[in-house]
Structure 1
């Protein structure tokens, strides 16, 4: 009885669990690569892939341009005489989502499509599978990345506004300092003029007093 309960519990956990697998393979030309996965009914399979082409000049795998290569994705039901349920063409860097209509083994195939000289070069194909029953859960990572990027943009925007506010404050203080300096310089000039006038009037008064003294003493 305990064994039956544990089996039911395990089946329930398997129904709500998500499985991740990521790996890469090397392909040549239009070589086709397939993966078999056992999926239960209504299971959601999400695949994210990235393709690089070999550059002999750099001796490394590089990101191709948007129109050089593409990927053809086929999903077949092995249990139903390889009935094809998905046929999709994508770019060299994209993803796909598939919902299993019936339980059983499925074959997911990828084939590189290209034209011209690049059709014969070697390619590196990175693929990541994620399996679950809730599409919202599968998209949570992508949404979290978008949210993180949005938060970073908001933080940068706030920093730019703060820098602009500080610059405005600095300009305002510079304007106030300039006005104060001009006012002080103007006051110094006027104070110098007033001192000169006072000194001139003092000299005139002293000369007049001295002349009156000389007249009284009959010196002049």
Structure 2
């Protein structure tokens, strides 16, 4: 019986799809008063690319929003007002939670809630592989191998990041346990000293009253 051979390109494509980070398409319902935010925890030195588009169910209303993207320590990475669509891109400088907030502009939405579509890509998913292929003059299996190499590097970096986070959490846990132990010892010592002082005071009191 002849075995059916699967093309190498398809195998590589399937492997890349399973290993590489998947871009996230997010739908947000923005209230006509207030704001709505989306966040993601990202490590440092990661490329982030996102496109956003305001969707209105009524064609006669064209709501606009104010967009603000902030880093974990509060620095503003992207800020745009009175817009219906746009894009932001940056490379993360520190690890932590990155926040993108969308706020409805007053009197642009007819006091109705509306939706925003966000195409959020990070890491290898944010790379423009067509440009890379043209620049390096590669195609076919060689391009798929390049994608696979990028996926493996991304996974390796994620593993290092998780290992470092685990080490940090272990250090914090050990310090916390040490502080709790010292606090318990100090509390016990204070209780013993206070009890001794109470006994001494009662003894002196009873001797003074000639009860003992």
Query: With structure 2 as the length reference, what TM-score do the two structures score?
Result: 0.44
More strand by percentage:
1
